[in-house]
A and B are shown apart, each in its own frame.
Chain A
Amino acid sequence: MLTKKLQPVQSFLSLVSRSVGHFPRQHYDVIVVGGGHAGTEAAAAAARLGAETLLITQKIHTIGALSCNPSLGGVGKGHLVREVDALDGLCGRAGDWAGISFSILNRRKGPAVWGPRAQLDRQRYREFMQSELLSTPRLTVMEGSVEELLVTDPNPEQPGQHRVNGICLANSSHPISASSVVLTTGTFLSGSLFIGQTTSPGGRIGDAPSSAGLSHTLRERLGLKVGRLRTGTPPRIVKDSVDLSLATLNPPDSSPTPFSFMNTHTRCRPEEQLPCYLTYTTPGVERVVRESLHLNCHIQQDAKGPRYCPSIESRVLRFPGRRHQVWLEPEGLTSDLLYPQGLSMTMPPDVQLRLIREIPPLHKAEIHMPGYGVQYDFVCPTQLSPSLQVKSTQGLFLAGQINGTTGYEEAAAQGLWAGVNAGRRALSKPPVALSRTESYIGVLIDDLVSRGVTEPYRMFTSRAEFRTSLRPDNADLRLTLKGRFELGCVSSSRHQKAVRVKNSLQDALAALQALSLSTTSWKRKIPDVHVSEANSNMLSGIEMLQYKDVSFQVLASIFPEVLLPFMEFSQRLKIEAVYRPHCESNKREIQRIQEEENMSLPEDIDYLSLPVSLSQEVREVLHRARPSTLGAATRLEGITPAAVVNLFNYVCFAEKRKKTSHGNQRRQKEGREEELCASLPQ
């Protein structure tokens, strides 16, 4: 059994000392701008890869701050956390360190859609992140505000119209150069804060707004298309002022499941965990919202907000007359605040107080800090390649909310991916891709760069076509081995552990397969299980494990000498056994998609004049999205199967043409056909 202890967090003093008086170098391999969920993962990943990395953030002590909800994971999001961890990222281990209330959502709906989730202690999460980053080799953390990107002419051997090769800090005349720059500005890009009728520039309350220069460069200098999104956060409530006896207690799992594959237990002991509480809105809440609409700037703006975690205003306006859930969540082990999930609001503070007091457990509640709304610019992510590099600009990578996503986990996943590719670029390694057939990170990135966003993008399990294969339990098998050798972002200790797990699971499954008994013998050994007679006479241990009521423990008690050595994997083996047949049948389809993904579409292709029979609509979709592979093209909205076939033929033909350098009659004939097709209206 592996009983690795969580790393003790270094004293806070030593981290501060590292940044003070530390004069930055003139050149880094990678510069990461921003110290949120995307920035921390990006900086750590680039450094793990071997790149000299600089992380620039406004304040070191806000690194790892949870700007909104004090929780990590959930359905779909938990999958991302497990995958980031499998690639040796930080957020899984940070969650295990800071978690104070663990539960697995969707427990009754099947392991493929289990959602590992935890309430977090804000203080502990920050501590962990800062300690990790400040002790990461090759990573320098620096306080500062980025004023400008250094933009130069592109390297003519690579596609792109510009190149970013460094940054300029505010209050500094010395630019810092870098091979790659990763922007993770979150909500700070032209961010505005909204409370009631007042608006002020900024991306988070209490932090200075980021410079207008950055936004200007992206838009004007690099010509990137940007859009506007909005989000919001609820007021924080003084815990002592809440009557929790009027809310429903929702206890965590009695035995916390860690996020990280490296941990066997969480820092928080099971009995130390804090519960959440559930309560509901009342008609009074709706009344206050309606009465105060004229005082609410944010809600009157038409920037797009998430449908998934809407503000209380949009909830009651969209579904009037209904009661809505409000979760009262702890903010930390020793925090005296509660976070009311579901009560994100932007009305004036006095109205906020009136509103929450319409909810029975909050009828005497005090607000510590009011809720507010944020509007910010995002860069339309179809302008990115699957490595998260801006297609038109060499060396510039974007990750997190700047790409139109919402959520810590989505940001962390992109941050890690951008960090890996930024590091690879700096180290002159080719960019790498993660397929949507092997990971949720791949799904996330493919969705972003090939479809773009119309509202803040959040991960769902239904976005993954091969959900039964991409489970939270097997993220290490899917990604850690690849992460070590193909990507270079996984440490050797994690890699060794994953190899050991992989071999053990293989051995155990082989042992189970070898246990072949007749149905009658099985019935004698496990009398409670209804083995159907219709099955062939001999059943293997794997087939028995597929029965709902047969656990690995039951089998191990019957065949202790063969199976007891694998007891630590009992849950994983049960899941493997049940899902195996389904994953097998997925394989052909996965293969087809991977083949399509391997057919790359040239970056400089001109869809508007492409000599292929395509409708004008399809041409415009392709022109806007510029998919990097045929696979990405098939998933674009508005692409017909016929268009895919024609595109497929074109790609095949283009490749053939590349190979045969000399023209012949056949080519002329085909050329003529191309001309004809080109002029077809559809």
Chain B
Amino acid sequence: WAGYGRCGVAVVRVSGPASATALRSMAGHRLPPPRTALLRSITDPLSGEMLDRGLVLWFPAPHSFTGEDSVEFHIHGGPAVITAVLQALGSVPGTRPAEAGEFTRRAFQAGKLDLTEVEGLGDLIHAETEAQRRQALRQMSGELGHIYRDWSHKLKRCLAHIEAFIDFSEDELIEDGVLDQADRSVCDLQSQIEQHLRDERRGERLRSGVHVVIAGATNAGKSSLLNTLCQRPAAIVSPIAGTTRDIVETAVDIGGFPVLLSDTAGLRESADLVEQEGVRRARERVQQADLTLLVVDSTCLPSDVQRAAGFLSEHLRNMCLLVLNKSDLLPETQRQKLKMELRGVSGLPAVCLLSCQTNEGLKDFLTVLQSSVKTLCGDPLAGAPTLTQARHRAHLQQCVAALSQFQRYRDSDLALAAEGVRLALTSLGRITGRVGAEEILDIIFKDFCIGK
């Protein structure tokens, strides 16, 4: 049994063979019909004292989350009520508090969930934004596991065909087409898995957050932008150039997508050792970023707009948004001119004219930022489910590498080629936990404290 917190309703769940005893001894001798909520008095089995009135549900095995007999008590969420019910449960023979993740573990062991579903469940519990929730729910419902199992199934067939060709073809009649068919399947699978891997890490980003780095020269207003985006004074702001020396990180929700925002030290040559280190860290962070917000003090732009475009291009990297800050300090004519002229310049990313002081242009900027983040994460509901975990990626990459071993040896050594398919199958199996699960099981249940 498990459950904790201060809330309106608390659910205490009991799983295992003593469930029925617990229910009978605490909420009346007759078991309710399966999976039907009944309002009952919940009493202490020893003293007979009434502890609460609440809903009870009875889930006989195997139709329960864990696959075992289960009972749920929906009680009032005050700490005293919960403590009393838990204590009462403790006096029922054969019960003990559940360990972290134990219900999920039992569900996995009973074959109710595969590993991707377990991971999806963990993500769902930890989901903080709307898009994360959608992705996790989709994974938990088994869609990702379904894809991997389908591939496994196809590979198994391939391998069986190749093995038949090796072991039987010379003294028994194995049709010649068998190997060609295996060739085609391996090719198909390889390209499908490569396609799946070419997702630009969208699913993983959505799961763990998009890394957005604010970078630019000193005093361009980077920290102000951070504070504006997270709507609180997370970073110290001052007119002194070089105020921010280390990286300031904060998590924000941009239109339902998780974003990990980093403010960095302004880029300039400095004699100050601490500032030098800050600049080094800033450059490193920009290298690892999914998206860079390049902040430029618009008053520092060359007044000639054409030259301004050239000036900006020098600071660009692949995935980048240009933020021209302090627009309030420009004359209106210059603002209009910048807006008009920079929009059409090829080679320049989206440009936003913004004032962190007056919030002018903030709405437009947020729209641009949100669509960039959305592109980086992809739509969790559209198309095939995406990769969500680095663990999956590693196994899939091994799988693709193993399949290329098949291609490499296909004509010279069928035994080594078949070995490639075998390895590929093992790698795929490790994702869903259907093959060789014993090694990853412990990691999974150690790393994820899930599904109490």
Contacts and interface: CB of A to CB of B under 8 A. Distances in A.
Contacts of A642: 108-109, 437, 441
A641 B68 contact: no
Counting chain A CB atoms within 10 Å of each CB, the highest count among B172, B436, B442 belongs to B172
A462 B413 contact: no
Interface residues of A, number: 44
Contacts of B110: 615, 682
Counting chain B CB atoms within 10 Å of each CB, the highest count among A341, A645, A648 belongs to A645
Contact of A325 (B17, B69, B172): B172
Contacts of A325: 171-173
Interface stretch (A105-113, A354-362, A363-371, A522-530): A105-113
A325 B172 CA distance: 7
Contact of B111 (A460, A467, A640): A640
Interface in A318-355: 322, 324-325, 327, 341
A75 B166 contact: yes
Given A325-B173, A327-B171, A676-B94, A681 B441 contact: no
Given A74-B171, A681-B17, A641 B433 contact: yes
A644 B165 CA distance: 33
A184 B78 CA distance: 75
A586 to B, nearest CB: 9
A681 B61 contact: yes
Contact of B167 (A111, A462, A578, A634): A462
Interface in A242-265: none
Contacts of B433: 641
A112 B170 contact: no
Interface string B19-40: 0000000000000000000000
Contacts of B171: 74-75, 105, 325, 327, 341
Contact of A113 (B412, B414, B436, B441): B414
B51 interface: no
Contact of B414 (A109, A341, A613): A109
Interface in B363-418: 409, 412-418
B67 interface: yes
A207 B369 CA distance: 90
A468 B412 contact: no
A548 B416 CA distance: 13
B413 A110 contact: yes
A115 interface: yes
Contacts of B61: 681
Interface string B90-110: 000010100000000000111
Nearest to B165: A109
B143 interface: no
Given A645-B438, A676-B16, A468 B416 contact: yes
Interface in B151-188: 163, 165-168, 170-173
Counting chain B CB atoms within 10 Å of each CB, the highest count among A76, A322, A467, A548 belongs to A467
B109 A613 contact: yes
B253 interface: no
A681 B110 CA distance: 10
Contact of A461 (B16, B415, B436): B415
B416 A582 contact: yes
A672 to B, nearest CB: 8
B249 interface: no
A153 B416 CA distance: 52
B419 interface: yes
Contacts of B434: 641
A613 B105 CA distance: 12
Contact of A467 (B67, B96, B419): B419
A652 interface: no
Nearest to B164: A462
Given A642-B109, A676-B94, A680-B16, A112 B438 contact: no
Interface in A573-615: 578-579, 582, 613, 615
26 contacts: A74-B171, A75-B166, A106-B170, A108-B414, A109-B166, A110-B409, A112-B413, A112-B416, A322-B173, A341-B171, A461-B167, A462-B166, A462-B167, A467-B418, A467-B419, A468-B415, A582-B419, A634-B438, A640-B111, A641-B434, A641-B436, A642-B437, A644-B438, A673-B96, A679-B94, A681-B69
Interface of B: 16-18, 61, 67-69, 94, 96, 108-111, 163, 165-168, 170-173, 409, 412-419, 433-438, 441-442
